[in-house]
Structure 1
Amino acid sequence: MKERAKPMKVVKVINNNLIKSFDEHNNEILVMGCGLGFKKVPGDEIDESLIEKVYTCKEQGSSNQLIKLLENIPIEHIQVTNEIINFAKSSLGKKLNQNIYITLADHIHFALERYEKGINIKNALLWEIKKLYNHEYLVGKEALSIIRQRLGIELPEDEAGFIALHLVNALMDDLSMEKTTDMTKMIQQILKIIKYHFKLELDEYSIHYERFITHLKFFAQRLFTGSAMEDQDEQFIQALKNQYKKEYECTKKIQDYIKQEYGWELSEDEMIYLTIHIKRITMQ
């Protein structure tokens, strides 16, 4: 017969809705639920029927940051954020960095505060986000619907773009929100260089375009995280330069842009990587 798990005990009451405790593996956790901490004292058992979310804190700094955030944000905003993240995980089918619970709750809270004050911030990258991160953007649109249903507040479309960027950031390790924004700008500029170099419009609804965007995302992520590609055979590199001269010329323009804008030198391997994929997308 399976041994019944020991009930969670209150270690510290943060507020009426938040309690610090430990799980069965002695990891520090924050347990959230409406009224969960009401009239509770250290040592009391936690009413598991009231638990809405359990946050596992692996680092002390993360724990303190989360406590500070959850103390100052209305539980309704946190509940909405958790629902959005659960939907995002299901829709995207990918693991999200746990920091999304902090960053997105913070963003949504301030977005709702701005709404109450009549302040509307335009998202300068909204068009690019729609094109480059369409799935994340659609999740952002659903997030606005969840906020409308739960809180009765209609946030502007710009916020769907901001939420999408938070999701993109949570899908990529070692990237800050600022780097995610810069990465989005870089990808859009690379697409412009290709269009002008070949004097063509790319079919944004084709499977080839979608694959190309995926390649550009990984390319930009490697640059922003300082991850190098494996070396290619020198003979192979020279053969590609000769075979795809026009495409390599386009890649050199991209190299000049990246050096001027970010001060980074593209390796020969990255140049060839881009050349091959530019050849594929311009053939369609």
Structure 2
Amino acid sequence: MTFRLVQVLNNNVGLACKEDDSQVVIMGKGLTFQKKKGDIIKASAVQKVFKLHEESPSDLTSLLATIPLDFLTVSYSLIDEAQEKYDYSVEPYIYASLTTHLYESAKRLADGRLVETYLPDLQKDYPLPYEIAGYVLDGFATRLNIKFPKQEQKSVALHFLNARTDIHTQNQAQRRKVDKNKQILAIVENELNNHKIYRNRDNANDYERLLVHLKYFINRINQKPAPQVLSAAIFQEVVKDYPRTFAIVQKINDQIKQKMGLEFTNDEQVYLTIHIQRLIRKEETNDKHNEK
């Protein structure tokens, strides 16, 4: 078996065509060094192959620029395995969004900082996604010796909840046509700035996580009816615990509805509230530090 190189992503990774013309990502130490488009690569030289999950080559290049290859491949493999093991289908964007989230969490752990979560307990109401999250985290502990704190399981479970899809009813063509990212992102950033929440060196990781997750939420925002996965009790708990942050989310939601005729679901409002609350908490911590 051979692969025909379509694009070099870095010295170790390339986009290639199999003999049946399907595209895959091939990996191996020095695999694509000094190679060019159209070169033939033997299967014996390839250490890892995985299929594209609707990522464009530019998306993969962006991920590979910030996330180590071993981390990326372990994350992708665990998501694939989890879907098969638990018969749980997820939308393709989870590969990028969850991998980015976990890598940022892993960096915080390496720096000696606990990864704080503002999520309610999900184990009772959503046992299957919670169990899947445990499988993914166990996989990182076994394969990369990264032992995430137990609370991280709630965040991973939410990713799987939000990304779950019915492959029989999902209209992939319609979803790919949604091209409103820039306008929605501009509304969000403008409203954050109105509340004196700016991207800076201290909150860069949290701010980037918000934008990355928001990008993939946008893929779902105009689906009707949008699937609801979080209970009303969790929604009310978030509203009660973070009233200031939820008020910001409501202003964002009102602008998107007025300007674009779209509206966040309750689930998406919960996710956005959690991300913005993390930014607010960071600002409050920095303000207290500066007062000392």
> For the superposition of Structure 1 and Structure 2, which TM-score range results when normalised by the shorter chain?
0.5 to 0.7
Post-superposition shift, 1:133? 1.7
What's 2:3 paired with? 8
**Residue 82 (str. 1) matches residue 128 (str. 2):** no
Contact 1:19-1:30 at 8 Å conserved across structures: yes
Could you tell me which runs of 5 or more consecutive residues in structure 2 were left unpaired when the two chains were aligned. Answer: 176-215, 238-263, 267-292
Query: What do the CA deviations read for 1:70-112 (whole angstroms, capped 9, x no partner)?
Result: 2331111012202321231123203221222211221121111
Contact 1:9 1:22 survives alignment (8 Å) = yes
Q: Residues 115-174 of structure 1: CA distance to partner in whole angstroms, max 9, x if unpaired?
A: 1112223222241x2122211111212222211111222110121111111111221467
Letter paired with 1:69? L
The corresponding residue for 1:43 is 38
**In structure 1, what is the equivalent of residue 115 of structure 2?**
121
Calculate percent identity across the aligned residue pairs. 25
Structure 2 residue aligned with 1:167: 160
CA distance in 2, matches of 1:135, 1:111: 22
CA distance in 2, matches of 1:117, 1:185: 34
After superposition, the Cα gap between the structure-2 partners of 1:126 and 1:143, relative to the gap in structure 1 and judged at 3 Å, is farther
The CA distance in 1 between the partners of 2:53 and 2:130, in whole Å, is 29
2:63 to 59, 63, 69: 69
Does the residue aligned with 1:54 lie in a helix, a strand or coil? strand
The residue type paired with residue 186 of structure 1 is A
- The match for 1:20 among 15, 18, 26 is 15
Q: Would the alpha carbon gap of residues 126 and 188 (structure 1) be closer, same or farther in structure 2, given more than 3 Å must change?
A: closer
**Structure 1 residues 146 and 35: CA distance shift in structure 2, 3 A:** farther
Partner residue in 2 for 1:148? 141
Which residue of 2 is the match for residue 188 of structure 1?
Answer: 234
Contact 1:30–1:57 (8 Å) recurs in 2: no
Amino acid at match of 2:40: E
| Cα-to-partner distance string for 1:234-267 (whole Å, 9 max, x where unaligned) | xxxxxxxxxxxxxxxxxxxxxxxxxxxxxxxxxx
Q: Which has the higher helix share?
A: 1
RMSD between superposed Cα atoms in Å: 3.5
- Tell me the secondary structure at the aligned position of residue 10 of structure 1: strand
Is it true that 1:97 corresponds to 2:138 in the alignment?
A: no
Structure 1's 34 and 79: CA in aligned 2 closer, same or farther, altered over 3 A? farther
Contact 1:91/1:139, CA 8 A, preserved across alignment? no
Q: Structure 1 residues 57, 95: CA separation in 2 closer, same or farther (over 3 Å shift)?
A: closer
Larger radius of gyration: 1
* Native 8 Å contact 1:10 1:41 kept in 2: yes
**What letter is aligned with 1:113?**
K
Matching residue's letter, 2:153 = A
Residue pair 2:140, 2:146 contacting (<8 A) in 1 also: yes
Say whether 1:54 aligns with 2:50. yes
**AA partner of residue 265 (structure 2):** F
TM-score, normalization by structure 2: 0.54
How many Å separate the matches in 1 of 2:8 and 2:147? 34
Query: Aligned letter for 2:134?
Result: K
What is the Cα deviation at residue 69 of structure 1?
0.8
Provide the residue aligned with 2:265 in structure 1. Answer: 224
Q: Residues of 2 paired with 1:79 and 1:87: CA distance?
A: 12
**Which of the numbers 128, 133, 155 marks the counterpart of 1:135?**
128
Query: Cα–Cα, structure 1 residues 69 and 29, in superposed 2: closer, same or farther, change >3 Å?
Result: same
2:193 maps to: none
SS at match of 1:140: helix
Could you tell me whether the CA contact under 8 Å between 2:9 and 2:57 is conserved in 1? no
Give the length in aligned residue pairs: 187
* Distance (whole Å) between structure 2 residues aligned to residue 57 and residue 146 of structure 1: 20
Give the whole-Å Cα distance in 2 for the aligned partners of 1:56 and 1:142: 22
> Match for residue 266 of structure 1?
none
Structure 1 stretch 145-154 or stretch 63-72: which is displaced more?
Answer: 63-72
